[in-house]
Amino acid sequence: MDDVLVDVFSHQVIIGGRVNGTFTSKAYDDTVKELVENFHMKINKDKVKNRQKTLKKNFHECYDIFKDGLSVFGWNDSLNMWIAKPEVWEPLAKWMTTPIPNYSKMAQLWAKDKVKGDHAETAKEKRARYAASTTIDEIDNLISQNEVSLENFKVEDDQRSLEINVAYDELGNVISQSFDNVSKAIDRATEVMAKCFSKSYRVEVHATLSVLDLDPISNTGAYIFFIENPTYKEMFFGCLDHERKCVLLTLMSRPKN
């Protein structure tokens, strides 16, 4: 049931069922309907929300430890577990034998969705946190959540004006100090792209397309499309099997493709 629930949530994200990090009422209704049809059990919206809360809690407990890509650990999709040499597990023994099914899919859903109590902050506190941000990621996070922008970051007195000037100076320093992080991010992205182009990825794409009942020309075109556009991999493989053909044709028909 968890597998289906995560797949349905992923599909709802694709079709716009999540707005500003929150699933719409219709998205929950559709999710309940999908689960009832699959398992023929009494399931309601509250049960779905409670299970989602539990999955997010368990995911974040693990994600908070491994999110920075500890160099001695590696994720194994087949086992749904983090793996490493035995000697490095001592402080994290729990995760040595604890699988996290659907970890990659949940990372797409909830990696940026962790509640930090920001809603309890006043506007002044948010501006202060903006000025005190020490990394570009922290600043981007505030902007992405519509907590700060050039329009709402208004100066109410001379002190705040001074804080803003300091913040811009700090931002300049942050940009200069962040080149190392950017370089590491590029290296990591390169590794991900390399994996996408690996033989296993090509085999996976070919095998999946073979069951979509496409004509030979469309099948070849779809294969080339995924090899040239690996960024669509998670979107395509994250949806339900019977919806993949529709998702594929929609992606390929978009003007930019």
List pLDDT tens digits, range 160-180.
566 666 666 666 666 666 666
List pLDDT tens digits, range 23-64.
999 999 999 999 999 999 999 999 999 999 999 998 888 787
pLDDT computed for residue 166 by the predictor:
64
Beta carbons of 156 and 145 less than 8 angstroms apart: no
When the pLDDT of each residue in the chain is averaged and rounded to a whole number, the result is 74
Burial class, 108, CB count within 10 angstroms (exposed 0-12 / middle 13-18 / buried 19+): middle
The rounded distance, in Å, linking the Cα atoms of 169 and 2 is 47
As a dihedral over the C-alpha atoms of residue 133, residue 134, residue 138, residue 142, rounded to 10 degrees, the angle is 20
**Look-up of token digits 């028909």:** 253
Mean predicted confidence (pLDDT) in 207-221: 83
List pLDDT tens digits, range 54-83.
999 988 887 877 665 555 677 777 888 877
Whole-number percent of the chain with pLDDT over 90: 21
The rounded distance, in Å, linking the Cα atoms of 81 and 100 is 6
**Look-up of token digits 């020490």:** 134
Taking phi over 0 as left and psi of -120 to 50 as alpha, with beta for the rest, 74 belongs to beta
pLDDT computed for residue 43 by the predictor:
93
Q: Which residues pair with 75 in a beta bridge?
A: 82
Beta carbons of 100 and 58 less than 8 angstroms apart: yes
3 state SS for the chain: CHHHHHHHHHHHHHCCCEECCEECHHHHHHHHHHHHHHHCCCCCHHHHHHHHHHHHHHHHHHHHHHCCCCCCCEEECCCCEEECCHHHCHHHHHHHCCCCCCHHHHHHHHCCCCCCCHHHCCHHHHHHHHHHCCCHHHHHHHHHCCCCCCCCCCCCCHHHHHHHHHHHHHHHHHHHHCHHHHHHHHHHHHHHHHHHCCHHHHHHHHHHHCCCCCCHHHHHHHHHHHHHCHHHHHHHHCCCHHHHHHHHHHHHHCCCC
Beta carbons of 127 and 160 less than 8 angstroms apart: yes
Beta carbons of 240 and 8 less than 8 angstroms apart: yes
